Structure 1
Amino acid sequence: MKMVQKWMQTLVLLFFCQETLQLSSLTEKTDGERVEITCAPVSKTKSNMVIWFRVQDNAGMEFIASFSTKDGMKKTDFNNEVFSEEQINKNILILKAFKNARDSGVYSCASINGNALVFGEVTRLVGPAPTTTTTTTTTTPMTTAIELTSSTTAKSCKVGKVDPTASCDLIVWAPLAGGCGFLFLLLIITVCHCNRIRTKRCPHHYKRQPRMAAPGQQHPTANNRLF
């Protein structure tokens, strides 16, 4: 359990120490080249374990392996396809074949002495700088003579004369005539309606009255009855 706690402390400290790894020696390598990385933590008391790690440019921090300082035996898993531990007793880690996309970054090691974490040398591996080739192209200007002939003829547009007074008279008199016609129609409807109501209310005024005979032509009805 204590070993696990030490590992956790180590990883946390390594993560926060990434900024300090910028002060490193720059080494330029080509793809496929064998690289020997030397790192030895300097401390007053010798520790029992050395931790190797790297901070890749494209992938961040990566734990490589931990080795015993007594016999150089591995204490964790180790990527034998990429690294070699044949000189780990001399504090040398071997990178079998350098690949710029995979192996560019910062390499270092550290040892734990009690509660202290001691770092060793820092090595920065980079690939060759990309070469840029500049190509100069000369272009010969091509001139093409094009004759453009265009003829434009001005045409006058004839617009008929408009009498402003005619339109004004139409605007004034048309609504007035329409209003007068509407009032006249309303008057006719009102008169007819009133006559109809009067006929219904007073029908005796419209009964036929008997004609009065002339004084000389009256029938002597009463006198005949006396005789």
Structure 2
Amino acid sequence: GCCGIQGQKYKMTARFRDSKITHPILGQRLELECLPTERDSGVSWMRQDKDGTLHFIVFISSLSRTTFIGNMGTSARFQAMRDSSFYRLVIKSFSVQDQGNYFCLINSNQMLHFSNGQPAFIPVPTTKAPTTAAPTTQGSLTKTETCLKTPAPETSKQKGLNFFCDIFIWVPLACGCLLLLTALVITITLCQKTRRRRCRCKR
């Protein structure tokens, strides 16, 4: 922020005229006042924007004559005057472009002296994050039932692959067992016929 020249005891105060105001309201009138602590030959009002750039607003002489930017005596946006020991600045309708830190300054003994900065910013509205309600028991049960009734695609695919694998494994085994069983039946039948022939020959 800006301050007086180092080593100087000269002090000024810039503030809202209404001490109850904490921040400006968009579209409403805003009044600031500057109180020098010593005799002066006039006060200038300046605004420092968010980027730190200083903007000249008006010079108010000790006789309450005003000189705005462009060497104009009046302004469509501002009013300025001297009232007793105070130098007042009025913003007729506060807008977004009027936001910044406001300073008053004087030129005393060929030295510039700045007041403290009075912040004037429109408060940013805070939006609450949407809250998500916890799922009900019924909803949880419904989701569970759905999961039970409808298997996941990956599970179905895996089951299909397992089924084909079972076919390729068990079909050859079944055929082999059937062939072995057939061979066993044929062998038993032949053995029985051979035994009968032997028995007839002995008689």
Question: Which category describes the TM-score, using the shorter chain as reference length?
Answer: 0.5 to 0.7
Q: Distance in 2 between matches of 1:153 and 1:73?
A: 97
For structure 2, the residue ranges without an aligned partner over 5 or more in a row are 5-12, 16-20, 170-203
Give the residue type in structure 2 aligned to 1:123: Q
Answer yes or no: is 1:132 the counterpart of 2:127.
yes
* Per-residue CA distance 1:83-107 (angstroms, 9 max, x = gap): 112x3444110011122x3122111
TM-score computed with the length of structure 2 as normaliser: 0.53
Find 1:66's aligned residue among 51, 59, 62.
59
Find 1:47's aligned residue among 40, 45, 49.
40
- Superposed, 1:187-202 pairs within 5 Å as none
- Alpha-carbon shift at residue 35 of structure 1 (Å): 0.8
The 3-state SS of whatever aligns with 2:75 is coil
Q: Distance in 2 between matches of 1:128 and 1:64?
A: 23
Bigger fraction of residues in strand: 2
Answer yes or no: is 1:146 the counterpart of 2:150.
yes
TM-score computed with the length of structure 1 as normaliser: 0.48
Q: Distance in 2 between matches of 1:97 and 1:103?
A: 9
Distance 1:58 1:121, change over 3 A: closer
* Per-residue CA distance 1:21-49 (angstroms, 9 max, x = gap): 9x986931221121110113323xx3323
How many equivalent residue pairs? 134
- Percent identity, aligned pairs only? 22
Counterpart position of 1:93:
89
For structure 1, the residue ranges without an aligned partner over 5 or more in a row are 1-17, 157-227
- Alpha-carbon shift at residue 79 of structure 1 (Å): 6.9
Q: Distance in 2 between matches of 1:57 and 1:79?
A: 26
- Measured on the aligned residues, the alpha-carbon RMSD in Å equals 3.2
- Alpha-carbon shift at residue 114 of structure 1 (Å): 2.0
Q: Distance in 1 between matches of 2:61 and 2:50?
A: 28
Task: Please say if residues 44 and 58 of structure 2, whose CA atoms lie closer than 8 Å, have aligned partners that are also in contact.
Answer: yes
Structure with higher Rg: it is 1
The 3-state SS of whatever aligns with 2:97 is helix
Give the residue type in structure 1 aligned to 2:150: I
